[in-house]
Structure 1
Amino acid sequence: MSWHEAVAIVALVGVLAFAVARPRNYPEAVAAVPAAALVLVTGGIGLDQAWRQITDLLPVVVFLMAILVIADACDAEGLFTSLGGLLNTTARGHPRRLLTWVFVVASLTTAVLSLDATVVLLTPVVVASALRARVSPRPHVYACTHLANSASLLLPVSNLTNLLALSTSGLSFLSFAGLMLVPWLAVIVVEYAVFRRFFAGDLREQASAAAPDRPGEGGRPEADTPTRERLPVVALVVVGLVLAGFAVAQPFGLEPVWFAVAGAVVLSGDGLRRRRLTPRRVGRAVSLDFALFVLGLGVVVSAVAAGGLGRAVDTILPSGTSFLALLGVAAVAALLANLVNNLPAMLLLLPLLGAGGPGPVLAALIGVNVGPNLTYVGSLATLLWRRTLRQRGIDPALREFLSLGALTVPVTLVVAVVALWGSLAVVGP
């Protein structure tokens, strides 16, 4: 290993450690941007290669920023408060019914508004709904983090890793969704079955003590309790139009990113006009610091990939589109995600898989989306979920998280790859 490679690996480890620890709540870009500059100065990557990586990532990052603005504007319009009211109304204090509806709502929220919306905006609503129903919040909050990762398989907008995969796979928005629909459904069903068994005690013990229909009984505080049930029509219509725009963009030679930007402008503009949003809140939702983090991380990962780690991963990656080859790619991707986080893992894998067609790319996507449920460091969304819970006085147990991950990840990985292999055989790339 050359000293250039060693510097790049140390820089990557440092960026990820900073992202996990977030000292003094500093943004991740505080470490990523200097690390990118370091690998440039030390010769780990050339300026031309770094600029190419940034320009390749920039449309994806702008797309992500627009989706985050849309999700925050939907929150300002009361969408997540309405979803909380829907959970309360449909569950009526029954923990199993609440878990079912949390799975439905979290899966759709992740798919349409991205996994960040699920961990940041939906998780607090789920906590409040469980407390209001006087049931243990454990199964329901764990469902939020698991589905933020595994239920992000469906649409390109569901996860930043999906956007990266879409740009490499050569698939259209509709083709991507068509191939990932069955794996998405299969993973959710398996997760639900494991959750019902793993949390059987929580669900069974509380079932006989279901909360009465009248809110506020039982001494629970009603602060932060969602009560609104009317869904914001304008926000949902705009989101629907944006998704429709994604579907028709490619046949008309349009870039999907412009539909996302248009939706963000419309919803944020309407929110500002009606004073539901402030310029400062919109600025926070844009998450420019996270955009800089992704771009800086991309440069660092390019330097690592150009060195020994990229060659090592390339030697163990299976080739072809057989079931075993796709399963091998997914397994390597999952392992890599839990070693270096899913975003760097996808950035590292895509240049190695791009020539193999959409099958291996989507198999790697399954690995980096499902695999992070195994450990805390697998995805930034999981770390953000943990921080969100701690702010509300809930500290998830590491042993329980690891046990649940060990039960879900291997089986969901296999089931999802089986479903992808079948989809490729039936639908074709």
Structure 2
Amino acid sequence: MCHAATGPVRADTDTAGVTDTWAQLLAVLMLAGLLAFAMVQPKGLPEAVFAVPAAGLLVAVGVVGPEAASRQVVALAPTVGFLAAVLVLAQLADAAGVFTWVGARLARGSVGHPGRLLGRVFLAGSATTATLSLDATVVLLTPVVFATAARVRARPKPHVYACIHLANSASLLLPVSNLTNLLAFSASGLTFLQFAGLMAAPWLLVIGIEYLVFRRFFRSDLGGRPHGAEVVEGAGQPAPRFALAVLALTLLGFGVSGLVGVEPVWVAVAGAVTLAGPELAGRRIGVPALVRAASPPFCLFVFALGVVVAAVSGGSLGAAVTSVLPTTPTLPNLLLAAAIAAVLANLVNNVPATLMLVTALAGHAHPGLVLAVLVGVNIGPNLTYTGSLATLLWRRVLVRRDATPAQTEFLRLGAITVPLCLVVAVVAVWLGLTLGRGWLL
């Protein structure tokens, strides 16, 4: 079967310079410091400022051998390249006016109908997350939704909360939807279409549950029929047909890439190059902006994070995680794997959790276990701010607009949606495995 990339490898540790106990302690401290730095981002410094030296220190003192660190970086390279290409693609879509057009479509017919706006936000958020990744939903769609809600005189809270919940839970569908998906896809042994086929039902069910809960949870915010809405910027502009066509063809290319032996990263690159042509020719965007869109510091952060997590996984903590993970894809075991993944994501963040769990599965696990882990690391972060970097970034977007979300409200909403969505999604995965067992095994 076609793989998007070689998955993270179990790094052999070389502790000649330090004892096993001190090696594990140092690795855990570096991971904790790295996550704390990423959450706080003092003075706006990128995560790589701490992560790269932390990884270098672990290699220098022998917690991770140079060869093992190099293998981890090489294994992550296709995944990180894919991530960079999708980030550029999303930024180019924004430059082409896709998100301004989406904002206008959200506002049209929603004046005085906050509930109708919420439904449209769910459609836009789910589609954006699935096709352009959760980062596009957080960074590009959330500000559009916030402004649109204000201009149609709707309370923004339900709509911007929907953006982050969908950024996490609606990222189940495609390998391109989330960095965690790319890591799990590499380890699953599935093709792009097989992955999407198994995750389609969980994706739809989770979105449906989230929508019903949101309608109930935010019923007071969605009540009433406000008047006096402003005209939304771009309301009369035509659809950016070229950009939408390129995005549609790129998505189609992802689906057929495995059938023709082409890695999905090259499809993403082709889509980005195609969109970049008119923008560069019209001088609406420059090469430096494209480089910034690829987020080199974040890519370095992912590489360094892989090395740090390899150090942690090679010690007692990694052994403990391996010991509790199930090895057969029964329904109780899939539920257990998802629960472990959700808890770990909220403890150490979802990307490190995915790296640890994929390493613990050691490349020979049944695809069902990998997908159950993915359900846990994608849905679980809706429980706390620390569950994913996307949630932290979303909070910063709102803080800059003097709309800091209340932590207790975020926790209460997550406590309702996360357990229910986890169970329903895992059951849907299990049914997909059962019905499709003939082509999976």
TM-score class, shorter-chain normalisation, is over 0.9
2:103 partner SS? helix
Aligned to 2:73: 54
Which amino acid in 2 is paired with 1:321? Answer: P
Aligned to 1:23: 42
Aligned to 2:271: 263
Aligned to 2:377: 368
Give the conservation status (yes or no) of the 8 Å contact 2:24–2:315: yes
Cα distance in 2, alignment partners of residues 156 and 335 from structure 1: 22
Cα distance in 2, alignment partners of residues 104 and 159 from structure 1: 18
Residues 1:254 and 2:262 are matched in the alignment: yes
Cα distance in 1, alignment partners of residues 103 and 274 from structure 2: 25
Residues 1:389 and 2:398 are matched in the alignment: yes
Give the conservation status (yes or no) of the 8 Å contact 1:83–1:229: no
Which one has a larger percent helix, Structure 1 or Structure 2? 1
Aligned to 1:409: 418
Percent sequence identity over matched residues? 56
Shift, 1:90, TM fit: 3.3
C-alpha deviations, 1:265-315, integer Å up to 9, x for none?
Answer: 221232111122122221210100000000000000000000011011111
Residues 1:135 and 2:154 are matched in the alignment: yes
Cα distance in 2, alignment partners of residues 201 and 256 from structure 1: 44
Aligned partner (choices 34, 41, 52) of residue 33 of structure 1: 52
Aligned partner (choices 346, 355, 358) of residue 367 of structure 2: 358
Which amino acid in 2 is paired with 1:389? Answer: L
Shift, 1:116, TM fit: 0.3
Cα distance in 1, alignment partners of residues 308 and 215 from structure 2: 41
1:249 partner SS? helix
Shift, 1:120, TM fit: 0.5
Give the conservation status (yes or no) of the 8 Å contact 2:328–2:366: no
C-alpha deviations, 1:153-209, integer Å up to 9, x for none?
Answer: 0000000110111111010000000000000001000101111111111112xx2x3
Shift, 1:229, TM fit: 5.0
Cα distance in 2, alignment partners of residues 147 and 300 from structure 1: 29
Residues 1:319 and 2:316 are matched in the alignment: no
Cα distance in 1, alignment partners of residues 287 and 219 from structure 2: 46
Kindly tell me the number of residue pairs found equivalent between the two proteins. 418
Cα distance in 2, alignment partners of residues 182 and 86 from structure 1: 27
Shift, 1:424, TM fit: 1.1
List aligned pairs for 1:16-415, cutoff 5 A.
Answer: 16-204=35-223, 207=224, 209-211=225-227, 215-216=230-231, 225-228=233-236, 230-353=238-361, 354-415=363-424
Cα distance in 2, alignment partners of residues 119 and 170 from structure 1: 29
Cα distance in 1, alignment partners of residues 115 and 377 from structure 2: 29
Which amino acid in 2 is paired with 1:414? Answer: V
| Residues 99 and 229 (structure 1), Cα distance of their counterparts in 2 relative to 1, 3 Å cut | farther
Shift, 1:231, TM fit: 2.2
Give the conservation status (yes or no) of the 8 Å contact 2:34–2:50: yes
1:356 partner SS? coil
Which amino acid in 2 is paired with 1:250? Answer: G
Shift, 1:239, TM fit: 1.4
C-alpha deviations, 1:41-76, integer Å up to 9, x for none?
Answer: 121111111111101100000000000000000000
Cα distance in 2, alignment partners of residues 58 and 228 from structure 1: 43
Residues 72-81 or 90-99, more deviating: 90-99
Residues 235-244 or 131-140, more deviating: 235-244
1:90 partner SS? coil
Give the conservation status (yes or no) of the 8 Å contact 1:129–1:226: no
Shift, 1:92, TM fit: 2.6
Shift, 1:261, TM fit: 1.1
Cα distance in 2, alignment partners of residues 28 and 377 from structure 1: 15
| Residues 325 and 202 (structure 1), Cα distance of their counterparts in 2 relative to 1, 3 Å cut | same
Which amino acid in 2 is paired with 1:296? Answer: A
Cα distance in 2, alignment partners of residues 65 and 128 from structure 1: 27
Cα distance in 2, alignment partners of residues 226 and 173 from structure 1: 35
C-alpha deviations, 1:191-241, integer Å up to 9, x for none?
Answer: 01111111111112xx2x3335x635xxxxx7xx45355321111111122
Cα distance in 1, alignment partners of residues 392 and 237 from structure 2: 30
Give the conservation status (yes or no) of the 8 Å contact 2:106–2:148: yes
Give the conservation status (yes or no) of the 8 Å contact 2:188–2:370: yes
2:404 partner SS? coil
TM-score (norm 2): 0.93
Cα distance in 2, alignment partners of residues 269 and 22 from structure 1: 34
Cα distance in 1, alignment partners of residues 412 and 279 from structure 2: 43
C-alpha deviations, 1:13-40, integer Å up to 9, x for none?
Answer: 0100000000000000001100110110
Give the conservation status (yes or no) of the 8 Å contact 1:374–1:405: yes
RMSD between aligned alpha carbons? 1.2
Which amino acid in 2 is paired with 1:113? Answer: L
Aligned to 1:219: none
